[in-house]
Chains A and B, each alone.
Chain A
């Protein structure tokens, strides 16, 4: 089992986008993947082609069958994770809640420190998206109350929306890379195809196969796979992310 948290102390850094893309790419490699949206925004589903008005079944508690798209089961966990009994359930029956046969990609809202701290000791990886902006870099000191960002063994960074045309973006890339070393897991180039694909409720791989960001996302998924030592998926990929080879 692998529970992977995606959370950034700064909102708007692409956490939901990266959670969805990681789920899609890991499913494309043949893994059984669940994507759990623990945010109020409820926008994770859009990255799998579901409409904003489409209800996503609540995780557990008889919420019904999850939505499944491109090999990923999508569930809504916002209500459940904020319930009074949730922390006790996590302590008592974590493996029952997070089916060990699956990879769980959990999208945690930027302000939800409680959920982050609750799940952090039990996750294999915490992915913190950053932007090459001052506002994003300034929140690096908000990652943990107990340890500095550089000493968080399970936390890695993804620098999102890189744009080499912008000086601060280039310099931020160099800065983060040198500061965090292999804690910087991947970089994703800024690419309007990402936004346009989402507006069409299409996969980037279908809407814009040559997308620069798509290439970076593939490397991001590879890096996660290597980082947490995932065993090769047992069978053939259950969904091919076309244009992504």
Chain B
């Protein structure tokens, strides 16, 4: 059990609870066609959309595997920090570069 989870249990005065960290291995990370469809839709992203046809995105723009680096253990109060008010990366709102977007997306859990 992760140290932060154990500390959380101690805080809650519990011995156990159903806990599992759902983490995707890279091989499980999919570039869902619905994402490509959204990115290619001018009514969603404007003029930056559809730089590449959706089918080409699916076939050609698969990113290189991202190297996993060890992450520091999260403090107990950080376990749920990704919910509620989202932690954000730099947003590609102004210019949507599909290749760059999918590369970055592939690094996510």
Contact = CB atoms under 8 A, between A and B. Distances in A.
Interface in B46-93: 46, 49, 80, 82-86, 88-93
A162 B91 contact: no
Contact of B22 (A134, A164, A178): A164
Interface residues of A, number: 43
A186 B85 CA distance: 5
In the complex, which of the residues B42, B44, B46, B101 has the most CB atoms of chain A within 10 Å of its own CB atom?
Answer: B44
Q: How large is the interface on B (under 10, 10 to 19, 20 to 34, 35 or more residues)?
A: 35 or more
B40 to A, nearest CB: 10
A137 B24 contact: no
A180 B93 contact: yes
B10 interface: no
A150 B44 CA distance: 6
B45 interface: yes
A200 to B, nearest CB: 24
Contact of A140 (B29, B41, B46): B41
Given A134-B34, A168-B32, A141 B44 contact: yes
Contacts of B39: 179
Given A141-B43, A171-B29, A178-B92, A187 B104 contact: no
A220 interface: yes
Nearest to A210: B12
Contact of A181 (B85, B93, B104): B93
Contacts, number: 116
B85 A148 contact: no
In the complex, which of the residues B20, B46, B83 has the most CB atoms of chain A within 10 Å of its own CB atom?
Answer: B83
Nearest to A141: B43
A150 B41 CA distance: 11
Contacts of A134: 32, 34
A186 B84 CA distance: 5
Interface in A126-166: 134, 137-138, 140-144, 147-151, 162, 164-165
Given A140-B38, A150-B93, A178 B104 contact: yes
B88 A182 contact: yes
- The secondary structure that dominates the B interface is loop
A148 B88 contact: no
Interface string B23-42: 01000111010110111011
- The secondary structure that dominates the A interface is helix
Contacts of B45: 148-150, 179
Given A141-B43, A182-B91, A174 B83 contact: no
A216 B93 contact: no
Contacts of A170: 22, 24, 109
A219 interface: yes
Interface string A172-205: 0011011111111111110000000000000000
Interface of A: 134, 137-138, 140-144, 147-151, 162, 164-165, 167-168, 170-171, 174-175, 177-189, 212, 215-216, 218-220, 222-223
| 8 nearest A-B pairs in the assembled complex, by CB-CB distance | A181-B91, A219-B84, A141-B43, A148-B46, A174-B108, A134-B34, A216-B84, A219-B85
Interface of B: 20, 22, 24, 28-30, 32, 34-35, 37-39, 41-46, 49, 80, 82-86, 88-93, 96, 101, 104-105, 108-109
